[in-house]
Amino acid sequence: MAFDGLFTKAMTSELQQLLTGRISKVHQPNQLELLLHIRAQGKNHKLLISIHPSYSRIHLTNTANVNPSEPPMFCMLLRKHIEGGVITAVEQHGSDRLIILRIRARNEIGDEIERELHVEMMGRHSNIILVDAERDMILDSLKHLPPSVNSYRTILPGQDYKFPPSQDKQDPFAADADFSGLTDKEIVSRFAGFSPLTAKELNYRLEQDPDSAAAFLQEFTAEKPKGFYVEQQGKSYFSATQLTHLEQDNMQFDNLSELLDRIYYAKAERDRVKQQAGDLERWLQNEIAKLKLKLKKLQKEQDQAQKRDQLQLNGELIMANLHTIKKGMKQAEVVNYYNEETVTITLDPRKTPIENSQKYYSRYQKAKTAVVKTHEQIEKTEEDIRYFELLMQQVQQAGLSDIEEIREELAEQGYMKAQKSKKKKKPQKPNVEHYVSSTGIPISVGKNNKQNDYVTFKVASKSDTWLHTKDIPGSHVIIHSPDPDEDTVLEAASIAAYFSKARESASVPVDYTDVRQVKKPSGAKPGFVIYFEQKTVYVTPDEDLVLKLKK
């Protein structure tokens, strides 16, 4: 990754389209993110600002966000000071990872006020600070820093605003900037805005053309910068310039915001889900571990019960040899008339031969009953393991809106207590995801069991096409067409494979059939179905394709 000072400069250029824009709404989806709705130059924009320690960033976004029912205090303060305000400038502070939004707004009595939103994107030190521009005073911030934590700058309401400490590096855009003969590390240490990735790219180009530095830097000041993304050896790299020093081909985006949406959406969404569903994931892990331990014990009991035939044989052999067995004997050696081998049978010396025989018959009957009951318990335990593993897979791939439905399902099934809520919620339809194939055919996807049942048995028509990964936990996918073209089937199959346990696999088998061929057995758990007359295609999950098809 490389959201360095140079990338910040390019992002500042891209955000100039927000100038004269009016901030219509301010939302705070979680403790690390802000979302500003802005109407600028005849278009609606959503500006996402994140101070996540690993994913700090600012960019325009097209993704949907779930907002809390009650806005946090910082969000309420921003609404008071900047909602309805006009953005007059978007500036970068020097070559730092710091962007300032200058906003002209009005206070409660209608007087004009000047506010600044300082977005500091500095890893774990990232912050969003609202500043009174006239007094250069902090009104509030998303993270507070008392003097005991940071002696250089105090970030608290009422304190004077102070920029992060300067690193006293050279301006790479100055006319006298000279990069020749410098190593990657020397470029990073001497010039502001460079990350090791960007320095490596500059040196690679200088090796090809010693006069290419100016052209390289101009790419970061372009009015409409492009985004470039590379995945190599399990690592991700991005920049506002092509990364030619990397072996893999660059994936190009029309702008930086599209690039960051592509890179961070799934990561940030997963992180938000972990915050909301960490307890649920741990609960599922514990339940699966307990069930697997129970299964081992049941299988051991079953193995012991399988020896019941020997108990029956012992009873028979005692009855066949009553004339040789006497009360008081601790064991008897008799001939097994099935194979002519000598068998040693343990006896209770306090019992008569007939009582010993009856004891073996009684143990045989108990073992016979135990085999049936144990077999039933094993089947039930294996079913529960499959069910919880399916829920675990759904939690790991869930969005925020999906988690609550999974909790509700567990409560309805009697596995968990329902979460108490002060407000009574009206019953809501499951929120399934919608896609459109490259040929224009709508596709619906269920990402948890409630959504799967809903999309298959409520949303889909009997003549629609139903898809599911073959013998692999995953989503129900519906193509809303009785006779979809081959491209649509393959695209829907790719979506089904992506939202399954086989997301990281290749050549995943996906079954498809008419919805009328999908049945739910009586008493089956949510999301469980059987189906007939299916065909199978093999696809490799493609995240880029899934994002491209999302409606």
How far apart are alpha carbons 160 and 129 in whole angstroms? 12
Our measurement of the distance from residue 38's CA atom to the centroid of its chain's CA atoms, rounded to an integer in Å, reads: 28
Q: Position of tokens 């802000």? A: 34
Instruction: Quote the pLDDT of residue 426.
Output: 61
How far apart are alpha carbons 440 and 309 in whole angstroms? 64
How far apart are alpha carbons 540 and 538 in whole angstroms? 7
Q: Which residues contact 163 (CB under 8 A, 6 or more apart)?
A: 93, 98, 153
- CA angle, residues 536, 542, 543, in degrees to nearest 5: 135
User: Any idea what DSSP says for residue 474?
Assistant: B
Q: Which two tokens stand for residue 529?
A: 């179905």
Is pLDDT of 272 > 90?
Answer: no
The pTM of this model reads 0.70
How far apart are alpha carbons 359 and 364 in whole angstroms? 9
Top-confidence residue, 544 or 419: 544
Question: Would you place residue 415 in the very low, low, confident or very high pLDDT band (cuts 50, 70, 90)?
Answer: confident
Contact 298, 377 (CB under 8 A): yes
How far apart are alpha carbons 159 and 515 in whole angstroms? 64
Contact 34, 143 (CB under 8 A): no
Is pLDDT of 98 > 70?
Answer: yes
How far apart are alpha carbons 530 and 518 in whole angstroms? 6
Instruction: Quote the pLDDT of residue 136.
Output: 94
Exposed (0-12), middle (13-18) or buried (19+): which is 10, by Cβ within 10 Å? Answer: buried
| DSSP H stretches of helix in 160-247 | 184-190, 196-208, 213-218
Question: Would you place residue 126 in the very low, low, confident or very high pLDDT band (cuts 50, 70, 90)?
Answer: very high
Rounded to the nearest 10 degrees, how much is the dihedral formed by the CA atoms of 273, 279, 284, 286? 150
Integer CA distances (angstroms), 498 to 84, 282, 370, 386, in order:
41, 23, 43, 19
The 3 state secondary structure assigned to 12-56 is: HHHHHHHCCCEEEEEEEEECCEEEEEEEECCEEEEEEEECCCCCC
Is pLDDT of 292 > 90?
Answer: yes
Instruction: Quote the pLDDT of residue 452.
Output: 95
Exposed (0-12), middle (13-18) or buried (19+): which is 235, by Cβ within 10 Å? Answer: exposed
Top-confidence residue, 113 or 67: 113
Q: Taking residues 123-132, report their average pLDDT.
A: 94
Q: Is 250 left (phi over 0), alpha (psi -120 to 50) or beta?
A: beta
Q: Which two tokens stand for residue 444?
A: 């619906």
Instruction: Quote the pLDDT of residue 100.
Output: 97
Helix, strand, coil tally for the chain in percent (to 5): 40, 25, 40
Q: Taking residues 88-110, report their average pLDDT.
A: 94
Q: Taking residues 167-192, report their average pLDDT.
A: 92
Contact 344, 352 (CB under 8 A): no
Which is nearest to 287 in space by CA: 379, 380, 381?
381
Percent share of the chain, pLDDT over 90: 66
Q: Which two tokens stand for residue 511?
A: 């079954």
Sheet of strand 43-50, all strands in order from the earlier edge strand to the far edge: 57-60, 43-50, 33-40, 22-30, 86-92, 98-106, 112-120, 127-132, 137-141
Q: Taking residues 459-488, report their average pLDDT.
A: 95
Instruction: Quote the pLDDT of residue 523.
Output: 85
Is pLDDT of 284 > 80?
Answer: yes
10-14, 112-116, 199-203, 247-251 — which is least confidently predicted? 247-251
Instruction: Quote the pLDDT of residue 424.
Output: 54
Residues β-bridged to residue 105: 113
Contact 478, 515 (CB under 8 A): yes
- CA angle, residues 13, 15, 21, in degrees to nearest 5: 135
Q: Which two tokens stand for residue 367?
A: 């073992």
Contact 435, 542 (CB under 8 A): no
Question: Would you place residue 547 in the very low, low, confident or very high pLDDT band (cuts 50, 70, 90)?
Answer: confident
Instruction: Quote the pLDDT of residue 339.
Output: 85
Architecture of the domain defined by 5-160: Roll (2.30)
Contact 196, 4 (CB under 8 A): no
Rounded to the nearest 10 degrees, how much is the dihedral formed by the CA atoms of 395, 397, 401, 407? -10
Instruction: Quote the pLDDT of residue 449.
Output: 93
Our measurement of the distance from residue 388's CA atom to the centroid of its chain's CA atoms, rounded to an integer in Å, reads: 17
Q: Which two tokens stand for residue 510?
A: 């996906």
Contact 33, 48 (CB under 8 A): yes
Instruction: Quote the pLDDT of residue 421.
Output: 55
Q: Position of tokens 């035939």? A: 309
Q: How many CB atoms lie within 10 A of CB 163?
A: 13
How far apart are alpha carbons 443 and 548 in whole angstroms? 13
Highest mean pLDDT of the ranges 89-93, 324-328, 413-417? 89-93
In the chain, which residues fall in CATH 2.30.310.10?
5-160
Contact 219, 240 (CB under 8 A): yes
Is pLDDT of 1 > 60?
Answer: no
Is pLDDT of 400 > 60?
Answer: yes
Q: Which two tokens stand for residue 58?
A: 């600012």
How far apart are alpha carbons 133 and 131 in whole angstroms? 6
How far apart are alpha carbons 93 and 99 in whole angstroms? 6
Contact 96, 5 (CB under 8 A): yes
Which is nearest to 435 in space by CA: 501, 508, 393, 498?
498
Give tens-digit pLDDT for 225-259: 999 999 888 788 999 999 999 988 899 999 999 99
Q: Which residues contact 219 (CB under 8 A, 6 or more apart)?
A: 10, 225, 240, 241
Q: Taking residues 429-451, report their average pLDDT.
A: 93
Residues β-bridged to residue 188: none
Is pLDDT of 478 > 90?
Answer: yes
Instruction: Quote the pLDDT of residue 458.
Output: 94
Our measurement of the distance from residue 357's CA atom to the centroid of its chain's CA atoms, rounded to an integer in Å, reads: 62
